[in-house]
Amino acid sequence: MALSKSKPQAGIPGLTGRRILALGAAVAALAEGGPLAGAEVSSVSVDALEGVSLATCDLVLIDADAWDAAALTASVKALVAAKAPPPVLMVGGSLPASLVRDLLRLEHADILEAPFAPDQLTSAIQALLAGMAAAPAPAGPASGSRCWAVMGAVGGAGATTLAIEMAHALSTRDKARVCLIDLNLADGAAAAYLGVNGALRLSDFAAAPERIDTAVLQALSAAVSPSFDLLAAPRDPTGFDLATHDAVLRLLEVACETYDWVILDMPRHRRAWSLEALSGCDEILVISELTVPALLAARSLSDEVEHALSGAAQPRIVLNRLASRVFGPAPSMTEAERALQRKAVAGVSSDWEAAAASANLGGPVAQHRPKSKIVKDVQVLVEKLVAEPARRDAARAA
């Protein structure tokens, strides 16, 4: 890369605090008293580009002269394949036509041939950032969104499976846009069940949660179907520790502004943000198996949440894995409700083969076993809940 010599330049206006990913030592050096002064510049190699979270970047700046053709081609293909990539500016003196064609497949990309003056670099960067800011955001829900939380009374109660099935059922209604958010940030299973990769790293936004917006959600979500997105974190034992209270709540706020329906797969162990997240939900569903320990845990968890929210929300219990009883000690639904000391909102039939096959194939049960009793029972539950007024709307009306 060759930057023509001129008097020292001040940083580009509006670049202070912007996050720039620099591929090449020469472009990274422009932050040291040069045009990129004031920006947060991170330097990486083209080989490491695929492992970088692009959602936190405002601009990717590539020095084509610093890398061989094969590495450059691979980096451009990674950018083209990324979901909602940031603007990309490539500079250099020798740019192969095939590479330029690939780069310009990106919606926000430009080429700057060396040598160039600092003001040319400034103009190119400002134009890219302005174009990104002017790009229309995906349309939000036409009316107020609704949010349901799903949490298991005990581990293995089937909360994630039912959250997936409810999200899928909602996504088939009137072209509604649905987002399932797996808030089990250390070891959530939703991504594995759906056969996709989790890309949500809330630690990237710990210092600046306000950076989470609709475009970031687009970049971090995995599309399960055209109207069903998943936000899930990759497995990380420190996931809960690194995700801040403000980042989690900002994520939920933007999701509810973007989607018609938001389903939260909640951890059953309380976190610093749990009660605030639950207080913003229209429904809180506690999933229980038909075992005495699970039923007692469901009753306790429901009572704890209701008390902690000062009665503002009453969790509802869904009894999962109902089976026709011929022999054995499993309680009936009536006996289960007696143990719960409250009525269950619904029961979902047991169909182990359908649930296991769908998890192994990757996708909702409704996709792989559409005639399963699980699908039918979840549909009945969803229709029942949809028909009731949203709790947040009722609270506002009151």
Mean pLDDT computed over every residue of the chain: 87
Q: Are 276 and 249 in contact (CB under 8 A)?
A: yes
Token reading at 61: 């700046």
Separation CA 231–CA 191 (nearest Å): 8
Amino acid making up residue 390: A
For the stretch 310-351, pLDDT in tens is: 988 899 999 999 986 555 566 778 888 988 999 999 999 999
pLDDT of 7 over the 70 cut: no
SS3 label, residue 162: helix
Who has greater pLDDT, 123 or 133?
123
- CB-based contact 321:330 (threshold 8 Å): no
Mean pLDDT of 390-397: 58
Considering only residues 196 and 390, tell me which one the structure prediction assigns the higher pLDDT. 196
Confidence of residue 250 (pLDDT cuts 50, 70, 90): very high
**Distance, CA of 113 to CA of 20 (rounded, Å):** 20
State the average pLDDT over residues 223-246. Answer: 96
Q: Which residues contact 323 (CB under 8 A, 6 or more apart)?
A: 290, 330, 349, 350
Compute the distance between CA of residue 333 and CA of residue 38 in angstroms, rounded to an integer: 64
pLDDT of residue 76: 85
Residue (of 227, 381, 252, 366) closest to 318 by Cα position: 381
pLDDT category at 80 given cuts 50, 70, 90 is confident
Most confident stretch, 36-50, 132-146, 238-252, 318-332? 238-252
Q: Model-level pTM greater than 0.75? A: no
What is the DSSP code (8-state) at residue 206? S
pLDDT tens column, 278-321: 999 999 999 999 999 999 999 999 999 999 999 888 999 999 99
The percent of residues above 70 in pLDDT, for the chain, comes to 89
Return the beta strands (E) in the chain as ranges. 19-23, 40-43, 59-63, 88-92, 109-113, 146-152, 178-182, 222-225, 228-231, 261-266, 283-288, 316-322, 346-349
